[in-house]
A and B are shown apart, each in its own frame.
Chain A
Amino acid sequence: MNTKYNISSFCHIKNNQVSLNGSVIFSEQHSNFSDFIKAAYKAQNTKYPKFFKMDHLSKLAFIAADVLLKEQNIDIEKENNMALVFSNKASSLDTDLMHQKAIQHKDNYFPSPAVFVYTLPNICLGEISIKYKLYSENSFFIFEYFNAAHLFTYTNSLLETDKATSALCGWVELEGDNYEAFLYLVSKEGNTEHNKQNIKTLYNT
């Protein structure tokens, strides 16, 4: 139970920038999230038309995960026992509000099925799992703030009990045009020890 786990890589998306392991890999000024994330998707050169059908939270989580998992050269034809442990504050509020607008008036009541299916935050985990063929444990937690202690404890528990061999963890927060993603990969690879302090330090990088 004392196996040492490390953080092998991490990704930030905020302030019109995408960075990998602290280095900016994409930066383009846009006045809204929608245009920025579309530009980031194109820069990633990931041919995945379903991206355009996702809600904003899923797009944010998807691109952050894509940046990290591409770097790992994951073979999606093989089963990857990678857990997903995500968190945020606003849950799926951005999409919830969009759905609520569509059902606001009795005489103009046209809820969109394509919007409704995203009115849960953990749907973004499904989108990542579909793309990367992950059939492993996944959880989405709602906190008032970035909770490194909980992410650390929960992830270690999954790894130490062999529920997963690696874990993609972090924070994907989105409300309107305010967005921030911080994802990191925990496994036996890498040089940064997986502990609360290091998670906090990387989050604040």
Chain B
Amino acid sequence: MEALKQELKENIIEQLNLEDMSVEDISDDEILFGGGLALDSIDALELIVMLDKNYGIKLTDPKEGRSIFESINTMATYIQEHRSK
């Protein structure tokens, strides 16, 4: 689980072009949207694509994203339970 969280942080920084951030700057329970990362709606769509591409998870209802993308903890838990790759 810890390795997955680390991987998620690295991918988020790279995929969302968070140039001035490092893995250490994102805590496991930090609110991803509406918090210090300043993520927007396009970032949310990028995360949906990332779930599909990296973990084979297709979100059919974008509203699901709200709870899944709450923090690194919630993302990692959801991925572990639903991943197909």
Contacts and interface: CB of A to CB of B under 8 A. Distances in A.
Contacts of B49: 110-113
5 contacts: A52-B19, A112-B49, A113-B42, A114-B43, A114-B45
Interface residues of B, number: 13
Interface in A84-121: 110-114, 117
Given A110-B49, A110-B53, A113-B49, A49 B19 contact: yes
Contacts of A112: 46, 49
Nearest to B52: A110
A161 to B, nearest CB: 36
Given A110-B49, A110-B52, A110-B53, A52 B18 contact: yes
Contacts of B20: 49, 52
A53 interface: yes
Interface string A5-29: 0000000000000000000000000
Contacts of B38: 49
B46 A113 contact: yes
B37 to A, nearest CB: 10
> Which range contains the number of A residues in contact with the other chain?
under 10
Interface of A: 49, 52-53, 110-114, 117
A114 B53 contact: no
Contacts of A113: 42, 45-46, 49
Contacts of A53: 16-17, 42
Interface string B1-25: 0000000000000001111100000
A110 B49 CA distance: 7
A114 B19 contact: no
A148 to B, nearest CB: 35
Contacts of B16: 53, 114
Nearest to B20: A49
A198 B43 CA distance: 43
A117 B44 CA distance: 14
A114 B18 contact: no
B35 to A, nearest CB: 14
B46 A114 contact: yes
B52 A114 contact: no
A36 B38 CA distance: 25
Contacts of A110: 49, 52-53
Contacts of A114: 16-17, 42-43, 45-46
A114 B48 CA distance: 12
Contacts of A111: 49
Contacts of B43: 114
Nearest to B21: A49
B6 to A, nearest CB: 22
